[in-house]
Amino acid sequence: MDETLGYLRESLSNYLETSPPCIALYKKLLHNHYEDELAFVRDLDVEEINLLNTVLQKELEYARETQDDKRAGELTEIFELLF
């Protein structure tokens, strides 16, 4: 799996107990073998994009607060592709 998508999958795992839409995205990542983050983003519908936008904003804020520059950079790559 692409490293960037691995970070996304890990981020989505934080919401599995509380968000059925995040579960669906997590499973989508797990079961489809995307070549890279662009292939994944191209496979999203509008609702999934909006959900990821919300999740990634929270996850990026957390990564910056904890000074995890690697994580912030990887998640930013996906965030920028959403729009």
- Four-residue CA torsion sign, 12, 32, 50, 52: positive
Q: CA-CA distance, 9 to 7, in Å (whole number)?
A: 5
3-state secondary structure of 36: coil
Residue 24: how many CA atoms within 13 Å on its side-chain side? 10
Per-residue confidence (pLDDT) for residue 1, from 0 to 100: 65
Q: What is the pLDDT of residue 83?
A: 83
Give the global pTM. 0.89
**What gap in Å lies between CA 26 and CA 29, rounded to an integer?**
5
> What is the pLDDT at residue 45?
96
pLDDT for the residue 73: 95
**Ranges of residues in the chain whose predicted pLDDT is under 50:** none
pLDDT score recorded for residue 2: 83
